[in-house]
Structure 1
Amino acid sequence: MTRQRGFTLIEVIAAFALMALALTLCLSVASRAYRQVAWSDANARAVLWAQSLADEALAQPLAIGVQEGETPDHVFRWRREVAAWVDPSGAVIAHGESTGLLEISMQVSWLDGEATRSFSTRTLRLPSPKLVTGATP
């Protein structure tokens, strides 16, 4: 009598269970990696948008006040606030003086699923000779 060689049903089920477990772990890691890449992409785009707002502010006379808007693709909303810089000692330097500084605060926000994410930055700038005292549309 010859003995047949092969796998038993329990061995086949155990092999499928191990493969299912390994596949579940791999998909879980891939899903987390995808979310991390998407989060990093949104953050990088927000930083670039804030940088472009800062560059735009350097190229034109600044208006004291608040300007808001959104990107052309309606993904990011931005807010830029220009104010006279307040010295850490508490003294306000008048924006009309040539030695006065302007503080530019920029915030970019976007929706990430159901959560609102944001990036903000501040910088200082010397006022241009053609300083406008009201916000422009």
Structure 2
Amino acid sequence: MNRQRGFTLLEMLAALAVLAVCSSVLVVAFGNGARALQQVQRSDRLSLVARSLIDDATDHVLVAGRSNGEWSGVRWQMDVSVIPGANGSANAFRLDLQVDDGGRHARYSTVQVRSAGSGAGQ
């Protein structure tokens, strides 16, 4: 008795359907991962620009007021204000920075304390 065993057409179609569903789930997962990676890269870029601008402000004399410009394709605006205090030997400044690369916006804020008359950060 010679019995050949194999898969029926219905079993093959079911296996292909399962394979198609699994591969479509994987394609969606990879697409979402790539999209999330792009968002993180854009946020990192804004953070790096903000850090560079704040570091640059640390190297100069702080004056209350607003300044703006563009750095590496990112528009920025910085508001510097004096925080009132009773101690005459140091000045505290609040730096509010807004960066914008067209599609993403971010706001950063920090406080810097400087000795009276000092141009560099203490």
TM range, smaller chain: 0.7 to 0.9
SS at match of 1:84: strand
Q: CA deviation at 1:122?
A: 2.2
Matched residue, 1:26: 26
The structure carrying a bigger helix percent of its residues is 2
Deviation of residue 31 (structure 1)?
Answer: 1.4
Q: Which residue of 2 aligns with 1:82?
A: 80
Aligned residue runs from structure 1 range 1-137, under 5 A:
2-72=2-72, 74=73, 76-85=74-83, 92-93=84-85, 98-112=89-103, 116-126=104-114, 129=117
CA-based RMSD: 2.6
118-127 vs 58-67, greater mean Cα deviation: 118-127
Identity %: 27
Preserved CA contact (<8 Å) 2:46 2:99: yes
Instruction: Give the CA deviation at 1:98.
Output: 4.4
Instruction: Mark the CA change 1:66 to 1:127 in structure 2 (over 3 Å): closer, same or farther.
Output: farther
Cα deviation digits, residues 7-63 of structure 1 (max 9, x gap): 222112111111111111111111111122112222222111111111100111223
Contact 2:98 2:105 in 1 (8 A): no
TM score, norm. by length of structure 2: 0.77
Contact 1:62-1:127 at 8 Å conserved across structures: no
Give 1:106 shift.
1.4
Distance 1:105 1:128, change over 3 A: farther
Deviation at 1:111, TM superposition (A): 4.0
Unaligned runs of 5+ residues in structure 1 are: 86-91, 132-137
Structure 2: segments with no counterpart, 5+ residues: none
- Structure possessing the higher relative contact order (Cα contacts under 8 Å, 6 or more residues apart): 1
Amino acid at match of 1:37: L
Assess if the C-alpha contact under 8 Å between 2:79 and 2:95 holds in 1: yes
